[in-house]
């Protein structure tokens, strides 16, 4: 086993690799960009080397800088993680040429399987069924359009060198093909440095099932069963689970054998994943092979009890696989949820900002426990526009799928995050959705269940409002003593229970709940607190304990209602975490609110995040209708189209193609 490992990645996967390396006694070296100088993965390693600017092309995609970091740090091996250079055969070969072990397959296997087009050709020769489509080298736009027309719509355009949903579009009509093709090619070139694409027939209601394979340098190759990754948004996985619901032993063996055959056909070494698209009748088609460790590998670890990163390091060091196929078995059911900084209600638009609060439920290492959290950020860290906005992965295990799902619901309800928009509440609704609960899975589940997964927000009830008020009172230094034991105040001036010399205390709290004003009256008289909101006053008692700056654990009684909650107060925003949900309210200042309204600029469109203007579809004087595409921004390696909010005339454009824009910058002025 080598003694020093350089991890050529960032975020949660760099932290994940470092954990297994440390357990094996291997020294770790991190690399970092300007934006990641104080990141968690740097702290998780024994040493760190700066490799360039914040943009991936200036740092994590610079093979020369990473190899130089390995030379300077004395690393004998490089683990690429996933993404970035993990499937770059030139980088794998450069490591070999430099005498450094690349923890992954040989460059030839990456080249064979790294191109979706080449891989499909190889699988076609091997007799593996393929989805009808075009996987050739001719990339002339009109030729590709003719191929799509011949296949029949809808079709799926996919980046040949890609993954993670980047450079991928569903095209419903021939008239939309040209624009979608151009967008895919731009996105593919930006993310992977290769704009080659392929076209496939888009299957209706398919499932996405993948097989984990592992091979060593001694001729051994096994499959560690399957993962169901059908629940996706924007062609990116949201939920992964293992084993796949409804999988029969015969089909598992057939898919496993096909995956092993695919790996052996290219002389594969290390961890890889063969992905299949599966129709409702059970027919499966080869999609692609990912020649790296997958984001969702923890669910496989949870059901098999094997550390796949440890396997990677041992195989890279020349050791044989630790078990045979006959020694592998499945225990229980595991589910992984990807927690992102994004707003599901706005098309899963990424959210930028500082994670002021980030609390996870208690968890233990995956070898012994049923809940695991793989994360790459901490409270106080910033989600930047340069990288994928993943906050963490939450993985749970149960004796069966129902128990695993119940544990996931509970664990999601215990996460507390403040500072950026997240998909936590959406994930919890997804776990509770009847279709997901019944394992009625396919890649269109989120769209199919849209109404139940995106319900209209319900107003905060009196309990939530009272908890917010209790936190505001605690911030003022007031605390109700009747809920505290063994506490005696001798000096009335030292009491924090609202005591007044005339015996009367009154305060009105104005809160904004989804734009609606709620007023609560709080009073204290004769040793009794009361609270009223649109009704008679109720007895009100609370005890608040400060957990951190501006964060309170509150036990409250309101009339006959009792509640235990965590409340985070940051400036005017109040986040109430109770009963597995979070409610966001604002302390309302009528004077300041009136001033903000008078200064508000009407008729403009602003940038939802920092990014770069890729294309503009309109010019000053153009008439636009609601929903028309106005411009396209690139941020977080994805393209985001800005649409007209209503009918109007373009008055002015404030940026040109190629310009970088900041979050909130006014892009276009439109008059009604």
pLDDT, tens only, 638-650? 778 888 888 999 9
pLDDT at 495: 52
Express the helix, strand and coil content of the chain in percent, nearest 5 each. 30, 35, 40
Mind listing the domains of the chain with CATH numbers? 4-103 (3.40.50.20), 132-201 (3.30.1490.20), 204-331 (3.30.470.20), 332-454 (3.30.470.20), 462-591 (3.30.700), 601-671 (2.40.50.100)
- Please give the average per-residue pLDDT across 351-372, as a whole number: 80
Distinct helix (H) and strand (E) counts, the chain: 18, 41
The least confident of 73-87, 282-296, 365-379 is 365-379
Query: CA 270 → CA 292, 319, 325, distances in Å?
Result: 8, 11, 15
Which of residues 626 and 125 earns the better pLDDT score? 626
Query: CA 93 → CA 75, 86, 120, 248, distances in Å?
Result: 16, 12, 23, 40
- Please give the average per-residue pLDDT across 231-256, as a whole number: 94
pLDDT at 493: 53
Question: Where residue 602 falls among pLDDT bands split at 50, 70, 90?
Answer: very low
pTM (predicted TM-score):
0.83
pLDDT at 113: 87
| Residue 456 CB contacts under 8 Å (≥ 6 apart), including other chains | none
Which of residues 590 and 370 earns the better pLDDT score? 370
The least confident of 103-112, 191-200, 407-416, 604-613 is 604-613
Which residue is catalytic, options 292, 338, 372, 407?
A: 292
Question: Which segments of 189-228 are extended strands (E)?
Answer: 197-201, 207-215, 221-228
The least confident of 32-36, 90-94, 121-125, 395-399 is 121-125
- How many CB atoms within 10 Å of residue 141? 12
Backbone angles phi, psi at 500, to 5 degrees: -130, 150
Average pLDDT, the chain: 89
pLDDT at 367: 47
d(CA 3, CA 25): 8
pLDDT at 636: 67
Q: What is the pLDDT of residues 463-499, one digit of tens each?
A: 999 999 999 999 888 876 544 444 445 555 555 555 5
pLDDT at 257: 93
- Please give the average per-residue pLDDT across 312-334, as a whole number: 98
Q: Cis before residue 286, ω within 30 degrees of 0? A: no
Percentage of the chain lying above the pLDDT 70 cut:
93
Q: Give yes or no: 397 in active site.
A: no
pLDDT at 491: 56
């Amino acid at each position: 086993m080598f003694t020093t490992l350089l991890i050529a990645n960032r975020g949660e996967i760099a932290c994940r690799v470092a954990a297994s390396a440390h357990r094996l006694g291997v020294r770790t070296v991190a690399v970092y960009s300007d934006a990641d100088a104080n990141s968690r993965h740097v702290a998780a390693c024994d040493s760190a080397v700066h490799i360039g600017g914040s943009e991936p092309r200036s740092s994590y995609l610079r093979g020369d800088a990473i190899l130089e970091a390995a030379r300077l740090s004395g690393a004998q091996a490089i683990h690429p993680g996933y993404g970035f250079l993990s499937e770059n055969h030139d980088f794998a070969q450069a490591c070999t040429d430099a005498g450094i072990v690349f923890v992954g397959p040989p460059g030839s296997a990456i080249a064979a399987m790294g191109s979706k087009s080449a891989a499909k050709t190889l699988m076609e020769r091997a007799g593996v069924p393929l989805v009808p489509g075009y996987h050739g080298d001719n990339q002339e736009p009109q030729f590709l359009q003719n191929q799509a027309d011949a296949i029949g719509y809808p079709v799926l355009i996919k980046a040949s060198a890609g993954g993670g949903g980047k450079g991928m579009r569903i095209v419903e009509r021939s008239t939309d093909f040209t624009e979608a093709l151009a967008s895919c090619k731009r996105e593919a070139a930006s993310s992977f440095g290769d704009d080659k694409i392929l076209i496939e027939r888009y299957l209706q209601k398919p499932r996405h099932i993948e097989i984990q394979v592992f091979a060593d340098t001694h001729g051994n190759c096994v499959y560690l069963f399957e993962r169901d990754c059908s629940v996706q948004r924007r062609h990116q996985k949201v939920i992964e689970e293992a084993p796949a619901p409804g999988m029969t032993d015969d089909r598992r063996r057939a898919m496993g054998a096909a995956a092993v055959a695919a790996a052996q056909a290219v002389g594969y070494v290390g961890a890889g994943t063969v992905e299949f698209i599966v129709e409702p009748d059970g027919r499966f088609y080869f999609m692609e092979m990912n020649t790296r460790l997958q984001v969702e590998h923890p669910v496989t670890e949870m059901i098999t009890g094997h550390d796949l990163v440890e396997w990677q390091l041992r195989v890279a060091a020349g050791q044989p696989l630790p078990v045979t196929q006959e020694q592998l078995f499945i225990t229980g059911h595991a589910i992984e949820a990807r927690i992102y900084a994004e707003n599901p209600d706005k098309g899963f638009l990424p959210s930028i900002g500082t994670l002021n609060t980030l609390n996870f439920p208690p968890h233990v290492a995956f070898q012994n426990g049923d809940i695991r959290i793989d994360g790459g950020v901490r409270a106080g860290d910033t989600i930047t526009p340069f990288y994928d906005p993943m906050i963490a992965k939450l993985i749970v295990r149960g004796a069966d799928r129902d128990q695993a799902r119940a544990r996931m619901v509970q664990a999601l309800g215990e996460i507390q995050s403040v500072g950026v928009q997240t998909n936590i509440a959406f994930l919890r609704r997804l776990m509770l959705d009847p279709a997901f609960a019944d394992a009625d899975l396919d890649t269109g589940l989120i769209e199919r269940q849209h109404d139940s997964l995106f319900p209209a927000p319900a107003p905060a009830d009196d309990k939530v409002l009272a908890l917010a008020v209790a936190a505001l009172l605690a911030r003022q230094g007031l605390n109700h003593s009747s809920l505290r034991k063994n506490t005696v105040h001798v000096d009335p001036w030292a009491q924090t229970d609202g005591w007044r010399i005339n015996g009367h205390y009154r305060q009105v709290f104005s809160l904004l709940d989804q734009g609606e004003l709620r007023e609560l009256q709080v009073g204290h008289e004769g040793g009794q607190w009361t609270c009223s909101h649109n009704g008679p006053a109720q007895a009100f008692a609370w005890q608040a304990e400060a957990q951190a700056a501006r964060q309170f654990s509150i036990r409250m009684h309101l009339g006959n209602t009792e509640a235990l909650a965590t409340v985070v107060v940051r400036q005017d925003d109040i986040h109430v975490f109770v009963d597995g949900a979070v409610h966001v309210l604002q302390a309302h200042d009528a004077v300041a609110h009136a001033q903000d309204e008078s200064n508000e600029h009407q008729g403009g469109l602003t940038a939802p995040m920092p990014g770069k203007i890729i294309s503009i579809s309109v010019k000053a004087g153009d008439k636009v209708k609601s929903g028309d595409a106005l411009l396209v921004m690139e941020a977080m390696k994805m393209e985001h189209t800005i649409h007209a909010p209503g009918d109007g005339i373009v008055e002015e454009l404030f940026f040109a193609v190629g310009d970088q824009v900041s979050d909130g910058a006014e892009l276009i002025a439109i008059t009604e």
